[in-house]
């Protein structure tokens, strides 16, 4: 079997982690490595040599690699603002493009992703690992089987205490610091939005139409620096642009609302606060990853008739078949196993020469929420229209690539007789 | 001791419940009862005769009672749209006014409450029982003692499956049905907003400046009627105006944001999803009524350094002194004990001839969120300005009535030597 040849662009903490996952895959060859920092390239090179036995080409210039190295796909866990340009250049060089999560820096950039993909025929996939989370996929499975009735509302967010990562961004070469200093909006919307969008059929019979975005004041990072590094540390008293909590409400063509929260510079336990609500039931991460569904979970005759039940009680009977197969094969490391799944989803699409389960329209629409959120915040919460990157293709059925990693439908037939992924 | 003389206007389910609470109070006399429905008046009259031994004057016309019965105060658990007119007439008749919770129907009505209170010198208090919830008060106590650092963001809502109450509104004489049929906005914002506003010093050094509001489609009540009453039942297929989930984001003068959710027509377990976030900690109802506070709750060195701890572990050491006294005196029935506290807060202000702990500015500002939310929804989520009902009085310190029921400060001295309320 011919191996899938991959170029990795971006080898920081996240890039190195994904590289480790990919090195475990026997059907993948790492043919080139790229980062602006030589020590990162060195560390990654050593890993590939040890794990895979070959010596990839290395460079600090990804364009040079794209022009000279023959590969099937590019994976880019680079800084947020580099994702789109690298993906565009990868597709122009005839390769599949996979971008780590993160928002766009302009709407034009999202259009360029779409245009380039259509002109080159090369897919572009955001590696939104949370689309493959066990809880999110079980909710998706229940939704597709009708348990939630008609969907009405969803919530989610990225709520994670990253004060140290932001404050120490320059010494750790992390892109968050410069973004947080100057931008104000939901800079990281996709961990919740990805699975919500797939569940709500966004770009396939539905689309995101408009949003409003409001930011709180920014106090968390300054306070953290003063308390942990003192007055003399950089940015101790200089203001940050990014509000500590940015709340966005998206309206969809079919009337659903999506509330997103970006909340990364205050002390708090981690949560993506995933919520899906329909006319027959609700799922909620913050309620201890629970569901309450008419006809499935218990009800009573009190003033509060619906009861929560932990989703884990239903994984055996109502979990997504991908996770049942994954559990029996053995869950791999990396954010609770999601990283392996999203990487396999991409690699197998490259191998099979199909479109990716998260396609370029999904990628563009999800990334676009960031600059649109910035626009709305800048205008005091004004409603902002969300472009239709499909240019009307959402109105009529588009072909679905069925299979184990499909995020549009639950493809039971792909798991018949399967005990390993 | 002279008893506080009360007129009750509105004797439906909620009115009867509050009347029962008040009948237990030895220092209160019920002097008149009013409702449009004779059977409700009859039932209430019987209760007062049995519990208090006197026979109040009764009428279907509250204006007649206000003109002829001498009383100190009016309590009105009537339909939402009657709250403001009844309170205005009560103050004009020289009585304290207490309104059950609910939103206004116009901004002018809120101004009229404020103007009337100032012209007559009579206070007007919304009986927002959730301001006296044990969790909310413990959070307030921790905030005032500095544990949360600088406050940045708050969330809350009214999330309660009321589909039967709405659908059967006409046979049960409930005002929700007509409101839900024709209005679209957060019609019931105060259960979360009340305690949040007090915690954020709204109208005392801070104020609510603007809001945006977005409504989902309305599907829940129609679905419930079809599933439980069938095609022929009223409103089975006629549309409801009120979106199943209405999300509102309020911005405050000091830069905090407040996210409110109205979610009462989908199946879901009850929650007010109360959240308070500051630079040093967070409290969250949905995370099992827990807190995570630097210096108080445990922290670790992982990627998720802050841990939840149930607030109940801290009630003994960090609970509000009112609830410590209440627990040792014996908690009364009525929404977990809150109803008794908010009624005592009002009665004791009437008795002591002081302002009420929730004053007319609070009442007007909280009620105003409803019509402003309707305006924003009607304009596609446009930002709407929130009036300053204090007309600048929020900028400089205003006198606080200290005491056990104070909601602006924690008045420790009021509890010295106190073991009973």
The ipTM, to two decimals, is: 0.96
All residues at 6 or more sequence positions from B375 whose CB lies less than 8 Å from its CB, including other chains:
B185, B382, B384
Banded model confidence at residue B298, pLDDT cuts 50, 70, 90: very high
Q: Where are the domains of chain B?
A: 4-101, 131-321+360-403
Is pLDDT of B121 > 90? yes
Interface test with A, best of B223, B246, B249 (most A CBs within 10 A): B249
Instruction: Provide mean pLDDT across the span B137-154.
Output: 98
What residues of chain B, 176 to 205, have a C-beta less than 8 Å from chain A? none
pLDDT attached to residue B279? 98
Which run of H or E residues covers position B278? strand B275-278
pLDDT attached to residue B350? 98
pLDDT attached to residue B334? 79
Instruction: Provide mean pLDDT across the span A2-27.
Output: 96
Is pLDDT of B1 > 80? no
pLDDT attached to residue A418? 82
Shortest Cα–Cα distance, A276 to chain B (Å): 11
Is pLDDT of B419 > 80? no
Instruction: Provide mean pLDDT across the span B52-65.
Output: 98
CA nearest to B284 within chain A: A286
pLDDT attached to residue A47? 98
CB contact under 8 A, A217 and B243: no
pLDDT attached to residue A394? 98
CB contact under 8 A, A266 and B214: no
Q: Determine the straight-line distance between the first and last CA of chain A, rounded to whole angstroms.
A: 17
Shortest Cα–Cα distance, B372 to chain A (Å): 15
B333 Cβ under 8 Å from any chain A Cβ = no
A295 Cβ under 8 Å from any chain B Cβ = no
pLDDT attached to residue A419? 73
Tell me the residue ranges of DSSP E strands in B12-122. 28-34, 57-59, 73-76, 96-99
Sign of CA dihedral B193, B196, B198, B203: negative
Paired with B34 in beta bridges are B9, B59
Number of CB pairs, chain A paired with chain B, less than 8 A apart: 171
Instruction: Provide mean pLDDT across the span A159-188.
Output: 96
pLDDT attached to residue B326? 94
Please name the fold of domain B131-321+360-403. Answer: Dihydrodipicolinate Reductase; domain 2 (3.30.360)
Which class for A40: exposed (0-12), middle (13-18), buried (19 or more C-beta within 10 A)?
Answer: buried
Helix B13-23 with B38-52: angle, nearest 10 deg:
10
CB contact under 8 A, A152 and B245: yes
DSSP secondary structure string for all residues of A99-155 = E-S---S-HHHHHHHHHHHHHH---EEE--GGGG-HHHHHHHHHHHTTTT-SEEEEE
Nearest residue, CB atoms, B266 vs list A220, A282, A284: A282
A13 Cβ under 8 Å from any chain B Cβ = no
Banded model confidence at residue B332, pLDDT cuts 50, 70, 90: confident
Banded model confidence at residue B304, pLDDT cuts 50, 70, 90: very high
Q: Contact A154/A277 with Cβ under 8 angstroms?
A: yes
B375 Cβ under 8 Å from any chain A Cβ = no
Question: Is residue B302 classed as helix, strand or coil in its secondary structure?
Answer: coil
Sort out which chain B residues have CB atoms less than 8 A from A249's CB and list them.
212, 214, 247, 249, 381
pLDDT attached to residue A334? 79
What residues of chain A, 256 to 275, have a C-beta less than 8 Å from chain B? 256-257, 259, 261, 263, 266-271
Banded model confidence at residue A336, pLDDT cuts 50, 70, 90: confident
Shortest Cα–Cα distance, A198 to chain B (Å): 18
DSSP secondary structure string for all residues of B52-77 = HS---EEES-HHHHHHH---SEEEE-
Which pLDDT tens digit goes with each residue over B252-267? Answer: 999 999 999 999 999 9
CB contact under 8 A, B308 and A269: yes
Is pLDDT of B333 > 90? no
A51 Cβ under 8 Å from any chain B Cβ = no
Instruction: Provide mean pLDDT across the span B185-194.
Output: 98
Instruction: Provide mean pLDDT across the span B179-193.
Output: 98
Q: Contact A96/A356 with Cβ under 8 angstroms?
A: yes
A25 Cβ under 8 Å from any chain B Cβ = no
Sort out which chain B residues have CB atoms less than 8 A from A215's CB and list them.
257
Mean pLDDT across chain B, nearest whole number? 97
pLDDT attached to residue A421? 78
Q: Contact B376/B183 with Cβ under 8 angstroms?
A: no
Which pLDDT tens digit goes with each residue over A52-92? Answer: 999 999 999 999 999 999 999 999 999 999 999 999 999 99
CA nearest to A305 within chain B: B269
pLDDT attached to residue A164? 97
Banded model confidence at residue B421, pLDDT cuts 50, 70, 90: confident
Q: How far apart are CA A279 and CA B214, in angstroms?
A: 19
Mean pLDDT across chain A, nearest whole number? 97
CA nearest to A278 within chain B: B266
pLDDT attached to residue A91? 98
Instruction: Provide mean pLDDT across the span B186-212.
Output: 98
pLDDT attached to residue A332? 87
Which pLDDT tens digit goes with each residue over A189-229? Answer: 999 999 999 999 999 999 999 999 999 999 999 999 999 99
Which class for A145: exposed (0-12), middle (13-18), buried (19 or more C-beta within 10 A)?
Answer: exposed
Instruction: Provide mean pLDDT across the span A307-317.
Output: 97
Nearest residue, CB atoms, A382 vs list B160, B251, B383: B383
pLDDT attached to residue B420? 74
Is pLDDT of A158 > 90? yes
What residues of chain B, 215 to 244, have a C-beta less than 8 Å from chain A? 215-217, 219-220, 223, 243-244
pLDDT attached to residue B403? 97
B316 Cβ under 8 Å from any chain A Cβ = no
- Least confident stretch, A110-114, B317-321, B327-331: B327-331
Shortest Cα–Cα distance, A184 to chain B (Å): 14
Shortest Cα–Cα distance, A318 to chain B (Å): 19
Instruction: Provide mean pLDDT across the span A277-295.
Output: 97
Instruction: Provide mean pLDDT across the span B343-352.
Output: 98
Sort out which chain A residues have CB atoms less than 8 A from B247's CB and list them.
249, 257, 259
Please name the fold of domain A4-101. Answer: Rossmann fold (3.40.50)
Structure tokens at B251: 């911005």
């Amino acid at each position: 079997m011919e191996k899938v040849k991959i170029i990795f662009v971006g080898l920081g903490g996240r890039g190195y982690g994904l590289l480790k996952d990919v090195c475990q895959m026997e059907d993948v060859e790492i043919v080139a490595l790229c980062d602006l920092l030589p020590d990162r390239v060195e560390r990654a090179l050593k890993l590939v040599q040890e794990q895979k036995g070959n010596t990839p080409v290395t460079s600090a210039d990804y364009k040079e690699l794209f022009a000279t190295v023959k590969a099937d796909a590019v994976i880019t866990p680079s800084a947020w603002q580099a994702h789109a340009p690298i993906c565009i250049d990868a597709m122009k060089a005839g390769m599949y493009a996979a971008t780590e999560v993160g928002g766009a820096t302009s709407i034009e950039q999202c259009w360029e992703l779409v245009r380039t993909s259509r002109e080159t025929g090369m897919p572009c996939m955001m590696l939104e690992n949370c689309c493959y989370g066990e809880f999110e996929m079980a909710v998706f499975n229940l939704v597709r089987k009708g348990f939630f009735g008609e969907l009405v509302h969803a919530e989610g967010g990225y709520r994670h205490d990253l004060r140290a990562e932001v404050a120490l961004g320059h010494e750790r070469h992390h892109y968050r610091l410069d973004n947080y200093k100057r931008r104000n909006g939901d800079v990281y919307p996709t961990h919740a939005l990805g699975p919500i969008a797939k569940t709500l059929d966004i770009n396939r019979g539905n689309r995101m139409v408009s949003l409003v975005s409001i930011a709180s004041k920014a106090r968390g990072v300054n306070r953290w620096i003063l308390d942990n590094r003192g007055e003399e540390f950089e940015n101790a008293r200089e203001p940050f642009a990014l509000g500590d909590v940015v709340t966005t409400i998206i309206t969809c063509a079919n009337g659903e609302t999506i509330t997103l929260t970006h909340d990364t510079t205050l002390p708090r336990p981690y949560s993506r606060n995933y919520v899906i609500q329909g006319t027959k039931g609700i799922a909620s991460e913050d309620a201890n990853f629970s569901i309450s569904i008419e006809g499935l979970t218990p009800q009573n005759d009190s003033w509060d008739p619906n009861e929560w039940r932990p989703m884990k009680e239903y994984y055996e009977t109502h979990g997504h078949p991908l996770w049942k197969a994954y559990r029996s094969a053995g869950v791999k490391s990396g954010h609770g196993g999601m990283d392996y799944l999203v990487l396999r989803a991409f690699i197998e699409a490259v191998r099979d020469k199909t479109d990716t389960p998260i396609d370029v329209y999904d990628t563009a629409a999800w990334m676009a929420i960031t600059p649109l959120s910035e626009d709305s915040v800048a205008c005091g919460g004004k409603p902002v229209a969300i472009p239709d990157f499909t240019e009307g293709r959402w109105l009529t059925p588009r072909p679905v690539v069925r299979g184990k990693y499909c995020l549009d439908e639950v493809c039971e037939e792909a798991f018949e007789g399967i005990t390993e992924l």
